[in-house]
Amino acid sequence: MAASRKPRFPAQGPPVFSDRSHGPLVAGVAALVLLVNLGGAALHDEDEPRNAACSAAMLDRGDWVVPMFNGRLRTEKPALVNWLQMAGFAIAGRNETGARLGGAILSIGTCLLTWQIGRHLHGPAVGLVAGLAMASCVWTAVGGRAATPDAPLVFFTTLAWRLFVGSCGSAPGGVVSEITPLISPRRGLAIGAACGAALLAKGPVGLVLPLVTFLACGMLLAPGNAPPTTRVWRGMAGVRPGWIVAGALLVASPWYAWVTLRTGGEWPRGFFLVHNVGRFAGAMEGHSGSWLYYPVTLAVGFFPWSIVLLAVAVRALVLASRPSEPRHRATAIAGVWLTTWLLAFSLAATKLPGYVWPAYPALAVLTAAFLLDWATDKLPFPGRRADGVQTPDRVLGLAWSILVIVGLAGGAAALAGAAALAGIDRLPSTTPILALPCLLAAAGGCLAWWWQAHDLRGRSIATLAVTATFFTGLLAAIGPAAVQAGSAGPRHLAASLPTTAAADAWVSLGPVPASLVFYTGATIRPVESVAEALRHLQTRPDGLVFTAQEHGHGLAAVLPSACDIVHRVPLPFTDDLLVIGRRTAAETLVACQASPTTP
């Protein structure tokens, strides 16, 4: 019979490392991905420079309570990201590195927490692979190197999850099989304190979604020797939701109360009603998407580990349907965490890739558990090698093929289509280097397939980890600067503008360029119409108007003879920034030629 058939191939796990080396290895990979050339690229998009400019303004005023941007109250985010950036400015200077340093360090901490969670739920080998997967996936490099509140949110929510998982006992062999979440009041306060810091990072989501996850785990994993209703209530009570909420309020409420008093209630009205309720109810700033938005986001953001994403989901669903399976409860804990974040933000009308980044630690743990099950022939569905069928190997063979295809396609795109990707008319001399990490990914896929063909599945996993590290690390270190290499952005424009502008000398027709506010340190008054911008130029000989190209055509058509477009600043992925003023102003502007080595 097939069940008694001797396995055709011996089960082999990943290469053995001392448990004491796992933490330093995860931290080293995370540091390589997150810290190398951290300040090489200018602050991009709107969020990075807006956060940094707000932090710089708070630092100048000596005010750690009220966030201000360009002379106005900023209600989009709480103040934790500003505190981190103010500390970063003190350490590394008022520059890109200082703005990003705090988030990068916390992201390294998130990778270490993911390692500890995987270790507690499934044992040391899964913990190591989970930590490496979290450290070397694409979105960790993107979000962890960005001057935004996302990295603090992910760190503190993952810390809360780590403290919760620590309250669940582990069975012999390292796999959690008997779990009754029973949290002491002290641990409940600690979990709440972590959620309170998450509240200061990004608002209610930092408490609500972790608490929903903990309550769901309590209900699902409560003891089964009582009536269902009793089990549910005991499970929820064991999570200590009251203590968690109390801990969160102890940490977060002082700042929320203080900023409310200082702003006469204006800050909480804007933050809660517009940027929380409003973003959930309606798509803001064009950020919308279907139910497929976040599955696609995970496939891209968790790359290259996402090459097994579908198989990971199948394994998790199979184990979730088998309560008697020893790995059921450990899988349920990670599955509930992942599902809560995905479902909540799929229901929201406004969608952005970074919103589900707090779910990545759970995805990393589930992925690591799948890969170790494959390596040791313990996958819980038909087609195991022990049955004489090689379905799992075929699945992994397909995964390596995906890695090869994506790597080759990415390398070809970097070599042939870089000009279009960078939004410029010429190919920057540095951009073809983006082909290197893509070709390394293709080579890694070939090598992983070769190890699998020689029945060395553990080495295939090790090859994936090494490939992910160098692919993501190289892409993060050279990618942003290479894309910016052909455009003279506000960082370079600011170097040619007067170091100090007279009050009200600069205005913006349309949205104020946040990067220009940060790099110049000036307050730029917004104007609402072409007529108002024209009056500014006529009455202020030293006046300048900044505007996007789409807004500038109407103004350029009615300019007096003494005024002109004195400079045009190419920007990646968006319209050029136009600088309009008197022709004499052109003499004070130098040519802004971007360089990837410009500090």
CA 349 to chain centre: 19
Radius of gyration over alpha carbons of the chain, in Å? 26
Pairing between β-strand 544-548 and β-strand 506-509 as defined by DSSP bridges? parallel
Q: Which pLDDT band, with edges at 50, 70 and 90, does 493 fall under?
A: confident
On whether residue 396 sits in a domain, the answer given is no
**pLDDT surpassing 60 at residue 487:** no
- For residue 539, give its domain range: 490-588
Per residue in 425-470, pLDDT (tens digit) is 444 445 678 889 999 999 999 999 999 999 899 999 999 999 999 9
**pLDDT surpassing 50 at residue 171:** no
Q: What is the pLDDT of residue 463?
A: 97
2-11, 151-160, 215-224: range with highest mean pLDDT? 151-160
Q: What is the pLDDT of residue 166?
A: 87
On whether residue 71 sits in a domain, the answer given is yes
| Domain boundary residue, one of 336, 353, 381 | 381
The beta strand positions in 183-285, using DSSP E, are none
- Identify whether the C-beta of residue 200 lies closer than 8 Å to the C-beta of residue 80: yes
On whether residue 525 sits in a domain, the answer given is yes
Per residue in 530-566, pLDDT (tens digit) is 999 999 988 888 889 998 887 777 787 888 888 888 8
If one counts every other C-beta atom within 10 angstroms of the C-beta of residue 532, the result is 14
Q: What is the pLDDT of residue 51?
A: 96
Q: Are residues 78 and 205 in the same domain?
A: yes
Q: Which pLDDT band, with edges at 50, 70 and 90, does 589 fall under?
A: low
Q: Which pLDDT band, with edges at 50, 70 and 90, does 488 fall under?
A: low
Q: Are residues 234 and 365 in the same domain?
A: yes
Per residue in 301-319, pLDDT (tens digit) is 999 999 999 999 999 999 9
Q: What is the pLDDT of residue 503?
A: 77
**pLDDT surpassing 50 at residue 291:** yes
Q: What is the pLDDT of residue 193?
A: 98
| Domain boundary residue, one of 381, 404, 423 | 381
Q: Are residues 51 and 170 in the same domain?
A: yes
Higher pLDDT, 231 or 503: 503
**pLDDT surpassing 90 at residue 417:** no
On whether residue 453 sits in a domain, the answer given is no
Domain harbouring 528, CATH code = 3.40.190
For helices 124-136 and 360-375, what crossing angle results, to 10°?
130
| Domain boundary residue, one of 357, 381, 405 | 381
Q: Which pLDDT band, with edges at 50, 70 and 90, does 353 fall under?
A: very high
Poorest-pLDDT segment among 8-22, 227-241, 451-465: 8-22
- The predicted model gives 23-48 an average pLDDT of 93
Q: Are residues 311 and 172 in the same domain?
A: yes
**pLDDT surpassing 70 at residue 596:** no
- Mapped onto helix, strand or coil, the DSSP state of residue 580 is strand
CA distance 364 to 26: 13
On whether residue 209 sits in a domain, the answer given is yes
On whether residue 481 sits in a domain, the answer given is no
Bridge partner residues of 72 (DSSP) = 69
Q: What is the pLDDT of residue 346?
A: 94
Q: Are residues 218 and 80 in the same domain?
A: yes
Per residue in 59-68, pLDDT (tens digit) is 999 999 999 9
Q: Are residues 104 and 250 in the same domain?
A: yes
On whether residue 1 sits in a domain, the answer given is no
**pLDDT surpassing 60 at residue 264:** yes
Work out the mean pLDDT of the chain and round it to a whole number: 85
On whether residue 129 sits in a domain, the answer given is yes
Number of domains in the chain: 2
Q: What is the pLDDT of residue 45?
A: 81
pTM: 0.90
